[in-house]
């Protein structure tokens, strides 16, 4: 059966109190548009939002004044900033045309209606509407690519994560990112910010675990000149720097009890006081927190405030560890290979199938961050065009069948084991010359001396 709407140009809402004119326009345009009509402004308001085009008379019931049509125009534009509205009037007052266009009307014409002229205007208006929609779609796709470019993966857990990011990004809700160290919590926070209405404003990232306890308050909330020794000038804190944008507070579970209390007050009042100051400063920010700890256990142990936990845990988002999305490892490895090849200005290389196989079965206790460090080392140390098994760190060289489960260890222990192995392999590759190993690893002399003493190499 043929669709009676086939070939029509769009949905058109016509609003006029002249019933005869409405019938004439409906009959004349029905073969080109899906026409809906209303006889007054009140009825028209119930139909706003769905039409592709609107055609409004200026003088409408219930008031019958010019302002009624102008108010309807403004209402249509408030609901949809891209609303395409054509205004008409039986009055030859040029000021009305100018006023209509200033309020966002696409065009204005004077009655009596010339159907040929009206159709040309409506075609042009519809073309403008289509261009706006295409432009918005292009921007949305570009924004999506930009927001997710650094989050690599097509596995089911990552697709779930992308959907959650899209759902929360447009809101101003407080978010808590949950995940092991190295899973990319800051990248997720960036993706949320870049897709939010705050995307043009500051994204301020703070690693709470790296803040010395004596300076944490001043770093977060700012300080006034003379507030403490060394405060030679007033300085805004991270909350002020994030005004209008997003504050990302990583490892929030490491904050002291005093800072937790002050953070709670800021979340409730949206005001801060600098250290040594007396005036309150309003701050507008979106808070995204992150932790690799079980904060509920911390609450039960009395080391994290329960009221603060419920404040920051409005929307929890779990980031999957790499072991739960091993199908993403080849894409991640290729991504890091390209990144570090450019960064270190090395010739292009590719992975052998055996290398990708070994990468796929490794446990990756340090998650994506550990994989990134391994690929950077391979870029620096591999001499051939193909990265082979012989180029891998010793822990990754074991054949697939010999990989055995090992007892879980702490993240810090896993990182130390990896650093020790990485350093040992670098020194061996440099024929025992530690200065050359340091150069290849991007370390200075003091750093490699410290690491060699630490790991007794």
What CATH number should be reported for the domain whose range is 323-455? Answer: 1.10.8.60
Instruction: List Cβ neighbours of 338 (8 Å cut-off, separation of 6 or more).
Output: none
Residues forming beta bridges with residue 343, ordered by sequence position? none
pLDDT at 136: 63
Using CA atoms of 247, 253, 258, 261 in order, give the dihedral in degrees to the nearest 10. Answer: 60
Burial of 310 (0-12, 13-18, 19+ CB in 10 A): exposed
**171 DSSP 8-state letter:** S
Burial of 457 (0-12, 13-18, 19+ CB in 10 A): middle
- Pair 126, 52: CB distance under 8 Å: yes
Task: Spell out the domain ranges in the chain.
Answer: 11-137, 149-320, 323-455
* pTM (2 d.p.): 0.57
- The encoded tokens of residue 390 equal 């012989």
Nearest to 206 by CA among 277, 284, 287, 282: 287
pLDDT at 143: 47
Q: Distance between terminal CA atoms of the chain?
A: 81
Q: What DSSP string describes 34-73?
A: EEEEESSHHHHHTTTTS-SEEEEESS-TTT-SHHHHHHHH
Read off the pLDDT of residues 176-226 as tens digits, 9 standing for 90 and up.
Answer: 999 999 999 999 999 999 999 999 899 999 999 888 877 888 889 988 888
Q: How far apart are CA 439 and CA 419, in angstroms?
A: 16
Nearest to 453 by CA among 433, 434, 436: 434
pLDDT at 411: 63
What CATH number should be reported for the domain whose range is 149-320? Answer: 3.40.50.300
Q: What parts of the chain have a pLDDT lower than 50? A: 1-6, 141-147, 400-408
- The encoded tokens of residue 299 equal 């609450």
pLDDT at 319: 94
Q: Which residue, chain included where needed, has tokens 């408030």?
A: 78
Instruction: List Cβ neighbours of 443 (8 Å cut-off, separation of 6 or more).
Output: 451
pLDDT at 262: 93
Domain 11-137 in CATH 3.40.50.2300? The answer is: yes
Q: Do domains 11-137 and 149-320 have the same CATH topology?
A: yes
């Amino acid at each position: 059966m043929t669709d009676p709407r086939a070939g029509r140009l769009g949905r058109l809402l016509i609003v006029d109190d002249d019933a005869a004119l409405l019938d004439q326009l409906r009959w004349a345009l029905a073969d080109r548009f899906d026409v809906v009509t209303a006889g007054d402004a009140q009825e028209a308001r119930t139909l706003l939002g769905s039409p592709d085009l609107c055609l409004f008379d200026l003088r409408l019931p219930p008031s019958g004044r010019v302002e009624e049509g102008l108010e309807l125009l403004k209402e249509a534009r408030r609901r949809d900033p891209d609303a395409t509205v054509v205004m008409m009037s039986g009055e030859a007052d040029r000021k009305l045309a100018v006023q209509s266009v200033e309020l966002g009307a696409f065009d204005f014409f004077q009655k009596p209606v010339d159907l040929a002229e009206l159709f040309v205007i409506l075609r042009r208006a519809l073309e403008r509407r289509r261009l706006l929609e295409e432009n918005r779609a292009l921007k949305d796709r570009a924004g999506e690519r930009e927001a997710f470019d650094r989050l690599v993966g097509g596995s089911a857990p990552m697709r779930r994560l992308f959907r959650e990011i899209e759902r929360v990004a447009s809101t101003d809700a407080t978010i808590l990112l949950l995940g092991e160290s190295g899973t990319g919590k800051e990248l997720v926070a960036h993706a949320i910010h870049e897709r939010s209405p705050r995307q043009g404003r500051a994204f301020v990232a703070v690693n709470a675990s790296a803040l010395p306890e004596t300076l944490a308050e001043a770093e977060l909330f700012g300080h006034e000149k003379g507030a403490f020794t060394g405060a030679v000038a007033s300085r805004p804190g991270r909350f002020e720097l994030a005004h209008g944008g997003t504050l990302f507070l990583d490892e929030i579970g490491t904050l002291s009890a005093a800072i937790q209390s002050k953070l709670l007050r800021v979340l409730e009042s949206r005001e801060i006081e600098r250290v040594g100051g007396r005036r309150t400063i309003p701050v507008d920010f979106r808070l995204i927190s992150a932790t690799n700890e079980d904060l509920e256990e911390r609450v039960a142990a009395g080391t994290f405030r329960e009221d603060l936990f419920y404040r920051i845990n409005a929307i929890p988002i779990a980031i999957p560890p790499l072991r739960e999305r091993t199908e993403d490892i080849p894409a991640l490895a290729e991504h890091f290979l390209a990144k570090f090849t450019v960064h270190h200005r090395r010739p292009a290389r590719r992975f052998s199938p055996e290398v990708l196989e070994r990468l796929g079965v490794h446990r990756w206790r340090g998650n994506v961050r550990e994989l990134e460090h391994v690929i950077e080392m391979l870029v620096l140390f591999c001499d051939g065009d193909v990265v082979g098994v012989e180029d891998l760190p010793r822990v990754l060289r074991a054949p697939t069948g010999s990989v055995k489960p090992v007892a879980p260890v702490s993240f810090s222990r896993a990182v130390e084991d990896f650093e020790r192995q990485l350093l040992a392999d670098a020194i061996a590759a440099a024929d025992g010359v530690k200065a050359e190993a340091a150069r290849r690893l991007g370390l200075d002399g003091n750093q490699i001396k410290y690491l060699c003493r630490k790991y007794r190499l």
